[in-house]
Amino acid sequence: MIEDELIKIWQSSPKVEQVKFEKSRLMLELQSSLDRFHKLVKRGIIIEQVAILIAIPVFLFYIYFVPHLLSKIASFLIVIWSSWYLTLLRRMKKAKPDSITWGYMEYLKENRKYMYYLRKWTKTVMYWYVSPSLFGYFLFIAGPYVDGAIDNTLLFKLTLPAIVTIILVYFRMRWILKKIYAPRLKKIDQLIQVMEED
């Protein structure tokens, strides 16, 4: 009942007031959405950093103590890739917009720029994240296979999870692009357009 009355009041109000109301509503929705997005990104970066900081010493250990040459090479390559990825995560963290000294329009544009930056990395995740790590994984398990330490059955059992992981990551990234980035970028563009019309 009250909601219907508010809608009638809003519809009967002058166009200028409707635009102000629409702009305020968009601002509140977008701010809430951006806050959730930034928390999600921050949590993701922390989880990835912890995983990398665990993986690097483990694979450094493997370089010296795993007897298979291909596994040693794979471990070395994984350490190099992990170090690069750690620096990328730090760059992503530093690229986050800081709104303390900006006007609202600049804040929106910087958030849009940051989302496009992260979206670019998400779109290409199969090339820079999945491919190198799986190459390292397959090379690592090829070491004992080539040396005869594991048979075809065990090799298949070790390969199958990697293939399932590729498929899951691919569909997960498509979902993230569609459900996390696309709606937020659309809201930012709508709000920028409304604010530029004023």
Q: For Cα atoms 104, 110, 114, give the angle at the middle one, nearest 5 degrees.
A: 145
Range of 66's domain? 2-197
- Token output for 56: 């690097």
User: Which one-letter DSSP state was computed for residue 102?
Assistant: -
**Tell me, what's the pLDDT at 6?**
45
User: Tokens 């006007």 — which residue?
Assistant: 103
Distance CA(12)–CA(23), nearest Å, equals 17
**Tell me, what's the pLDDT at 143?**
93
**Tell me, what's the pLDDT at 196?**
80
Residue by residue, pLDDT tens for the chain (198 residues) are: 455 554 554 455 554 444 455 667 777 888 888 999 999 999 999 999 999 999 999 999 999 999 999 999 999 999 999 999 999 999 999 999 876 667 888 888 999 999 999 999 999 999 999 999 999 999 999 999 999 888 999 999 999 999 999 999 999 999 999 999 999 999 899 888 887 876
CA 149 to chain centre: 38
**Tell me, what's the pLDDT at 16?**
46
Amino acid at 116: Y
Amino acid at 57: P
User: Tokens 């692009």 — which residue?
Assistant: 177
Side-chain half-sphere CA neighbours of 107 within 13 A: 14
Specify the number of domains making up the chain.
Answer: 1
